[in-house]
Every structure is written in C-alpha cells, then in structure tokens.
C-alpha cells in the first residue's frame, strides 16, 4: 500500500479544491448567462409594451382634444341660435317655435357630446390603470428575478468562504507541531 505523506495529502487536497472551484466558476458563468438572457427578455417586453401603448395614448389625447373642440363649437352655435331667436321673436311667432326646437336639439346634442367626452375620459382612465397594473407586474417580476439572482450568487460565495476557512484550518493544523507519543 502506498504511503501517504503530507505532500501527497496536500496535493490531493489542492487538486480536489481546484476542481471544485472550476466547477463552481462554470456554474457561476451559467448563472450570469441566464440572468443576462432574462434581463434582455424583460427589456424587450417592456419596449414592446411601450411601443404598443404609446400610440393608443396619443390617439386618445387627439380624440379628446377634437371632442372638446366639437363641444365648444356646439356651445358657440347654441349661443348664436339663442341670439337670433331673441331678435326674431317679436316679428314671427311660428319662427320662434321652430328656433326653440332647434335650440333644444342643439342642447341635446351638446349633452350627448359631453357624455361621449366623459365616456372617452373614463376609458382613458381605465387604460391608464391597466397600463399601471402591467408596469407594476413587470417591475414585480424584475424585483423577484433580482432577489433570485442575489440568492443564487450569495449561496456559492458563502460556500467558497466556508471552503477557504476549512482549507486555512487544515493548513494551520498541518503546520503545527507534531506530537509524538
């Protein structure tokens, strides 16, 4: 049976430690690659979400601006019709009744326009809430991924620290005086 002296034991221990560190380095590189792929995927999803939502927001803003212009025009038209009614009423009683009907119709249309504008604003609010929920979900996912990466990286670092401490303790014990009995 071959004799195991201190040099052989230290050499074997150094080889085993070197192989363990090489394996751990390979695992850490695999983790880095996986994290990088995940980060790129999250970035692409966020950009895709932004490119899909921004045109809707811009179109909605334009639609609201146009609706407000139509409401203002309708109110202006209503004011003009009332002025005409005031001037013509003493002369023609039948024309007054017709203009009153027109004014009532314009009021109804203005109310419909205001209701439509309110509905559009409500839809924009709902979409904004939905966008907020989606962004919050993406950020929560990124936060969970960060926690996972932190946990995945801290565990091997603690293991390496423990291994280095044990190697140091072994070397210190091997360096100490040999007690012969």
Q: Could you read off the pLDDT of 31-67 as tens digits, one per residue?
A: 999 999 999 999 999 899 888 888 878 888 888 888 8
Would 181 be classed as within a structural domain? no
Residue 116 falls inside a structural domain? yes
User: What pLDDT was estimated at residue 38?
Assistant: 95
In a domain? residue 114: yes
DSSP state for residue 178 in the 8-state scheme: P
DSSP-derived 3-state class of residue 181:
coil
pLDDT digits (tens, 9 = 90+) for 79-88: 888 787 677 6
- Residue 175 placed within a domain: no
- Distance separating alpha carbons of residues 114 and 132, to the nearest angstrom: 27
So what's the pLDDT on residue 84? 77
Low-confidence ranges of the chain (pLDDT < 50): none
Residues above pLDDT 70, as percent of the chain? 92
**pTM beyond 0.75:** no
- What is the pLDDT at residue 177? 67
* CB-CB contact of 66 with 126 (8 Å): no
Q: Locate tokens 């909605």: which residue? A: 60
Asked whether residue 99 is domain-assigned, the answer is yes
Torsion of CA 72, 77, 78, 81, to 10 degrees: 170
In a domain, 44, yes or no: yes
Q: What angle do CA 6, 9, 13 make, to 5 degrees?
A: 135
The range of the structural domain enclosing residue 56 comes to: 8-167
What pLDDT shows up at residue 26?
Answer: 97
Number of domains in the chain: 1
In a domain, residue 115? The reply is: yes
173 within domain boundaries:
no
DSSP 112-173: HHHHHHHHHHHHHHHHHHHHHHHHHHHHHHHHHHHHHHHHHHHHHHHHHHHHHHHHHHHHHH
Sign of the CA dihedral running 122, 126, 131, 133? positive
């Amino acid at each position: 049976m071959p004799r195991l002296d201190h040099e052989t034991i230290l050499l074997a221990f150094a080889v085993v430690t070197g192989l363990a560190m090489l394996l751990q380095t390979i695992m850490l590189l695999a983790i880095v690659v996986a994290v990088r792929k995940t980060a790129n995927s999250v970035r692409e999803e966020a950009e895709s979400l932004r490119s899909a939502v921004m045109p809707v927001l811009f179109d909605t803003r334009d639609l609201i601006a146009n609706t407000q212009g139509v409401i203002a025009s309708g109110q202006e038209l209503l004011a003009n019709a009332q002025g005409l009614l005031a001037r013509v009423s003493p002369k023609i009683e039948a024309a007054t009744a017709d203009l009153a009907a027109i004014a009532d119709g314009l009021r109804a249309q203005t109310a419909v326009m205001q209701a439509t504008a309110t509905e559009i604003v409500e839809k924009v609010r709902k979409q904004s809430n939905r966008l907020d929920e989606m962004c919050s979900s993406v950020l929560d996912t990124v936060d969970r991924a960060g926690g996972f990466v932190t946990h995945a990286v801290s565990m091997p670092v603690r293991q390496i620290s423990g291994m280095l401490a044990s190697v140091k303790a072994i070397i210190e014990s091997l360096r100490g005086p040999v007690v012969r009995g």
